[in-house]
Amino acid sequence: MGHPQPVAWAVSRWCADPWSRGAWTGLLVGGTGADRARLAEPVSDRLVLAGEGVHPTRPAMVHGAYESGLTAAGHLLAAGRPGERIAVVGAGVAGLAAARELHRHGRRVRVLEARGRLGGRVHSVDLGGVTADLGAAWLQQYPDNSLAALARACGLPAVPTDFTDPLTLSADGRVQGVRAALDALARTAHELTAAADRPVAEVIAAHAAGRDAPSRPILAYAVAAGVTPESGLDFGLASARGAFGEPGIGEGDRWLPGGLGTVVACLADGLQVALDRPVAQVRPGLDGVSLTGSWGTLRADRVVLAVPLAVLPELAVDLPDGHRAALARIGTGRAEKVLLRYPERFWPVSPGGCLWWGEGADTWCEWADLTNGLGQPVLALLAAGDAATSLHSPARTDAEIAARAHATVIRMATRFPKLP
């Protein structure tokens, strides 16, 4: 019996996108939360940064971006007065949060967005009548999540995903002992970095050297599916303290069946947003700030730069030495997603909604089953690190990538025909 073909699909290109240049941030060797906090400090009384990358305790999270936008707005409110003209560069969650707060306090706010849409790294797409997120999707730390509170106030339902208990499958069969392998690796990381930070690659190599032969394939599987997607960074550059210390998935994660774009729309309501307005240069002066692009020049009293950190060096903006040093210790990881909608669900079902898959080669290793929340069979397949680069190569069309992802689903379903 043959398996059905997808009836709709979508493919991400975050790494090739000039307005994101990757997915979310992680610390490089020697980096700490203090570097993120430094970037969140005002560049001057006229210029401040915002985004998930500058939140010291909730990086790589959508509510971290939201809270950073509120913090940035607070800095400019304290420095200025009602009626000032404020420009916000970036209509992602951080930029819209800042703009909304500034507008609420009587500032004349204009948001400049390089893309032709709102949301930044939030991108909710239509899959033939159902909506799913091609970018950021989950609200972590849900009970204490400030953005989740806004979603609840807007009457938006949320569905939990248990990333701590994935269904662990591979082309060689069920994989047992993955959680124990990750816990043991984390203990080694804490021991080896007690005195000084080290690259993740060194920690993994040292840990693997102390494992017996049968346990090493389990460790490799655990790293590919449970460590790499946390940041998507090159393990030779990534901070082991950051990788095993900063918060990540598995902390009360929930997603919105209507897509995070519904929250973006709530944040943008009533704001003046100019789309297709990429900013090339930000030039502060004694009496204000000039922002220029191919579209012209805008003058403002103060500015919030709410762009991804990987994009920040592309802007002609003069950052203080402390900000530049902090920026050099934070990287942006590689992660890509494929969404596949089917006429029926035929793959193994994980009670918590999360599956891990390994094939001994680059693959989409983390799968979220959105079927129960959407009422339609939909999978979100995530690839990270080198796998994201190879699978989502610019040399492949979106259709080719979707076809390869579908073939991967078929391989899993064929390998495990009797799993519920």
pLDDT digits (tens, 9 = 90+) for 266-294: 999 999 999 999 999 999 988 999 999 99
pLDDT at site 88: 98
Query: Using one digit for the tens of pLDDT, what is the confidence trace for 80-89?
Result: 999 999 999 9
What is the three-class DSSP state of 96? helix
pLDDT of residue 286: 86
Measured at the CA of 340, the angle between CA 372 and CA 358, to 5 degrees, comes to 90
Residue 90 has pLDDT above 80, yes or no: yes
pLDDT, position 359: 95
Q: What gap in Å lies between CA 237 and CA 329, rounded to an integer?
A: 10
CA distance 104 to 267: 12
Helix/strand/coil percentages in the chain, nearest 5: 35, 20, 45
Q: Which residue has the tokens 């950021």?
A: 136
Confirm if 96 and 268 have CB atoms less than 8 A apart. yes
Whole-number pLDDT of residue 248: 77
Neighbours of 359 (CB within 10 A): 16
Q: Where are the beta strands (DSSP E) in 176-332?
A: 254-255, 273-274, 281-285, 288-293, 296-300, 302-305, 330-332
The per-residue pLDDT for 348 is: 95
Residue 2: pLDDT above 90?
no
What are the tens digits of pLDDT across the range 134-186?
999 999 999 899 999 999 988 899 999 999 999 999 999 999 999 999 999 99
How far apart (Å, rounded) are the C-alpha atoms in residues 255 and 63? 13
Mean per-residue pLDDT, 255-273: 96
- pLDDT of 11 strictly over 90: yes
Percent of the chain with pLDDT over 90: 93
- pLDDT bracket for residue 413 (50, 70, 90): very high
Q: Is 70 exceeded by the pLDDT of residue 73? A: yes
CA–CA separation, 198 and 243 (whole Å) = 10
DSSP designation for 5: P
Distance separating alpha carbons of residues 308 and 292, to the nearest angstrom: 18
pLDDT for 69 equals 98
Q: What is the pLDDT of residue 1?
A: 58
| HSE toward the beta carbon, residue 40, CA cutoff 13 A | 27
- Tokens at residue 179, please? 């959680």
Q: What Å distances lie between residue 98 and 51, 75, 257, 306, 388, CA to CA?
A: 10, 10, 25, 9, 31
Per the DSSP assignment, residues forming a β-bridge with 384 are 335
Q: Which domains does the chain have, with CATH numbers?
A: 25-130+257-332 (3.50.50.60), 164-248+333-415 (3.90.660.10)
d(CA 291, CA 316): 10
Q: Is the pLDDT of residue 410 over 90?
A: yes
The answer to whether the Cα torsion of 397, 398, 404, 407 is positive or negative is: negative
Tell me the range of 272-276, 314-318, 416-420 where mean pLDDT is highest. 272-276
| pLDDT of 285 | 87
Identify the pLDDT of residue 291. 97
In this prediction, residues 260-266 reach a mean pLDDT of 96
Question: pLDDT over 70 for what percent of the chain?
Answer: 100
